[in-house]
Amino acid sequence: MTDTTRYESERDFHDRIFADGSRAVADKFYFAAEGSKRFYERALVEGQP
C-alpha cells in the first residue's frame, strides 16, 4: 500500500467515524482501540523468548 493510498484509506475511515457528528461514538472507538493496542503490545513483549 502506498503512502497516498494509506492516507486516503485512513481519511475515509475517520470520515465515517465522525460522519454522524457524534464525538461520543468517536471517543468510545478510540478508547477501545487504545485498549486493544496496549493489550497486543504487552502480549507481544511477554511472548518474546
7-29 burial, b at 16+ Cβ within 10 Å, e below that, comes to eeeeeeeeeeeeeeeeeeeeeee
Sequence-separated (6 or more) residues with CB below 8 Å from residue 1: 9
Distance in angstroms (rounded) separating the CA atoms of residues 19 and 38 = 27
Q: 44 falls in which pLDDT band (50, 70, 90)? A: confident
The count of domains in the chain is: 1
pLDDT at 41: 85
> SS3 for 10?
helix
Domain that holds residue 26: 3-46
pLDDT at 1: 61
**Residue-wise pLDDT tens digits, 3-36:** 888 888 888 887 777 777 677 777 788 888 888 8
pLDDT at 48: 64
1-10 long-range contacts (CB < 8 A, ≥24 apart) are none
